[in-house]
Chains A and B, each alone.
Chain A
Amino acid sequence: MDAILQILVTGLTLGSMYALASVGLALTYGTMGMFNMAHGLFMTIGAYVCYSAFIVFGMPLSFAVLIGIAAGGVVGMAMHLLIVKFMLHRADFQTTIMVATAGVAILLQDLILKQYGAYPFKQPAQIEGQLTVASVVVTYQSIAIMTFAAALIGLMAWLLTNTRFGLAIRATAMNQDAAELMGVKTEQTYLQVLLIAGVLAAAAGILISSLASLSPDMGTNPLIRAFVICVVAGLGSVTGAGITAIVLGVMEAAIGYYIGVRFGFPTMLGLVILVLIFKPAGLFGKQGVVRA
């Protein structure tokens, strides 16, 4: 019983970080059909900027975290203004944008490597101490992670459902042409979407690095998790991605505990492929897949 509770705590912590990492990815795919291979770099940049603001420039921690998150948003916007904007109307946008963002990913990762070196750092955003409830250990760090992730995702959900700006995003996701005819400036919507994705990813990066450590390729691992989560949820389903992330986080923790940490991800991937054989559009995907 204790083991199960402990797994649940670990799993929920993992799951909330995965959710933060994958919701932005799902949102970009849902609104603009763009799969961002550089999404993991948004995480890395957020984490490193937060680290630099705190250690190098000596800012207070809460401020450093905010700057780290803002940096993710700025990079997201810059990517839209410099690259994505010019490719949106291409016939093969879906594949070429993946190639372009893969280029951006390797470029940014190399720049970070040159700037900070390959040596892993410890993220300063740490909260010491732990809570013991009925022999289950809950660190304050994981409570902070869960609260922070829940707050950010809640804020995004509120923005999407209760504001005109969120309405514009949802309208664009449903039908770009119709949204344009109703007066939505889709170009601007795409910019906002990449901003949101950047912010969420940077926040995820800071949280993830507080558990692991900072390294130039720290984004790869959560990015692949986010890929798998988005795929099994059905590409573009934002709510689905959030739910799937929590479920897969708990599953990974359980598999890690009972079988071995090495097999957490492989088992997850195997299950995902199995799910896709029976539901090719993912668990929450709406459109049927055209089969031929």
Chain B
Amino acid sequence: MNGNTALYRHLTALVAVLAVIAILPVFITQRYFLGEIILFMIWASVATQWNVLLGHAGVFSLGQMLFFAIGAYAVGMMGTYFDVSPWLAMPIGAIVAASAALVIGLACLRLETAYVALLTFAIVFMVSTLIRTDAECFITKGGLCTPLFGGGNGFSGFDDLGFRKLLKGQWVVGNYFVVLGVLALSLLASICVIHGRLGLAFRALGDSRIYAAARGMNRTRFHIIAFVITAFFTGLTGAVYAAHFRFAGPSLFEFPTLVFILAMIVIGGLKSTWGPIFGAALMMVLVEFAKEMGDVQNTLIGFVLVVFVLIFPKGLAGATSQLAQRISRQRSRKASDTARAI
């Protein structure tokens, strides 16, 4: 069983990676750095899910931030209107995101790649415009008018995960481990999908769509399944984002955010398993660097993205494996040379 050994290998790697991240707070105690790692874990989770969809399932969705935002808004709205704890709101947000994905998927995923990309993009734009331009007050608290979906300001200041009371000054560490838990779930799901039976189906459909169809595989059905699963975990990540930052607003839909995450996937390596995590780490460092250079963040992201697409289309994962191949080829050539010499 070749597939199973790959699965076990990746699961072992997952445990190792999670263990490393779990140990980090022992050495890093500054709140700023812990916050940065939390943000890294959130984007890594989103990028991983998107990579499953884009790289493996072949669904060119540009609507991932919608599902992220649905998760975040679920936590924000339930916290603001009903004082629901994020612990309960998080899974609900993920389920709502998955249901939205099912509806959008049924309507759009039958179409060709480019159509899917444009439609999902347009849907996100529509939702964000509707939310921004909503001026009708749903509740008015202290002279402050809040539309049903928060309008241009969104929601903030709702209940957090409760660690501020429990751990006092160390509350960030509590949030850290909750986010780590979500990242673990998201990675586990991605590995199970990529190296499980679903991944096999995706590979078959990617290799030859017509042959796969002739063997009775329904491409649209597999695409919708991938769409819904990834939307669930993207929504969950969005929910934990809202619970950590105590914020959910239309700025989540902004185009630069989308390109930022896309850059993580491309730089890490589309179609790889672990690439997006390294891509996310690298992009976080790059953005830190750009902040010091004076707010050239988006210019730099765009530039790096174009360079990678042009020169390293397989990302870091592809570049390293290419390098490894070249080294091993050189080594084998040397070995054969010495063999001949002997």
Contacts and interface: CB of A to CB of B under 8 A. Distances in A.
B60 interface: yes
A155 B330 CA distance: 59
Contacts of A290: 209-210
B341 to A, nearest CB: 41
A235 B134 CA distance: 32
B122 A228 contact: yes
Does more than half of chain B's interface fall in helix, strand or loop, or is it mixed? helix
B309 A94 contact: no
B291 to A, nearest CB: 14
Interface string B152-179: 0000000000000000000000000000
Contacts, number: 133
A100 B255 contact: no
A102 B262 contact: yes
A83 B306 contact: yes
Given A106-B302, A107-B298, A94 B113 contact: yes
Interface stretch (A108-116, A130-138, A165-173, A204-212): A108-116
B255 A106 contact: yes
B60 A95 contact: yes
Contacts of B212: 292
B114 A110 contact: no
B251 interface: no
Interface string A275-288: 01100100000000
Interface string A226-256: 0110110001000000000000000000000
B115 A231 contact: yes
A99 B266 contact: yes
A74 B35 CA distance: 44
A266 B126 CA distance: 6
A137 B107 CA distance: 40
Given A289-B112, A292-B213, A292-B219, A96 B302 contact: no
Contacts of B306: 83, 100, 103-104, 107
B122 A106 contact: no
B121 A106 contact: no
Q: How large is the interface on B (under 10, 10 to 19, 20 to 34, 35 or more residues)?
A: 35 or more
A231 B110 contact: no
Nearest to B307: A103
B81 to A, nearest CB: 23
B7 interface: no
Contacts of B112: 235, 280, 289
A255 to B, nearest CB: 13
B220 interface: yes
A280 B118 CA distance: 14
Nearest to B254: A217
Given A99-B309, A292-B212, A114 B299 contact: yes
A98 B130 contact: no
A20 interface: no
A83 B209 CA distance: 29
A89 interface: no
B217 A104 contact: no
Given A96-B309, A262-B133, A292-B209, A103 B115 contact: no
Contacts of A280: 110-112, 115
A64 interface: no
A98 B123 CA distance: 17
A70 B270 CA distance: 37
B313 A90 contact: yes
Contacts of B296: 110, 114
Nearest to B213: A292
A119 interface: no
B196 interface: no
A289 B113 CA distance: 11
Contacts of B303: 103, 107
A178 interface: no
A198 to B, nearest CB: 17
B125 interface: yes
B299 A107 contact: yes
Contacts of B123: 269
Contacts of B301: 103, 106-107
Given A103-B302, A106-B255, A292-B210, 5 more contacts: A94-B113, A100-B309, A104-B302, A110-B302, A262-B133
A288 to B, nearest CB: 11
A273 B107 contact: yes
Given A103-B306, A262-B133, A290-B209, A227 B121 contact: yes
Contact of B310 (A83, A110, A114, A224): A83
Contacts of B205: 292
B299 A111 contact: yes
Contacts of B133: 262
B299 A265 contact: no
Choose among B108, B205, B263, B305 the residue with the greatest number of A CB atoms under 10 Å from its CB.
B305
A141 interface: no
A226 B115 CA distance: 13
A178 to B, nearest CB: 23
A35 B107 contact: no
A46 to B, nearest CB: 19
A266 B313 CA distance: 36
13 contacts: A96-B309, A100-B309, A102-B259, A103-B302, A105-B302, A106-B305, A107-B299, A110-B296, A220-B255, A276-B111, A277-B107, A292-B209, A292-B210
A103 B243 CA distance: 30
A269 B120 CA distance: 11
Given A230-B118, A273-B107, A289-B111, A106 B125 contact: no
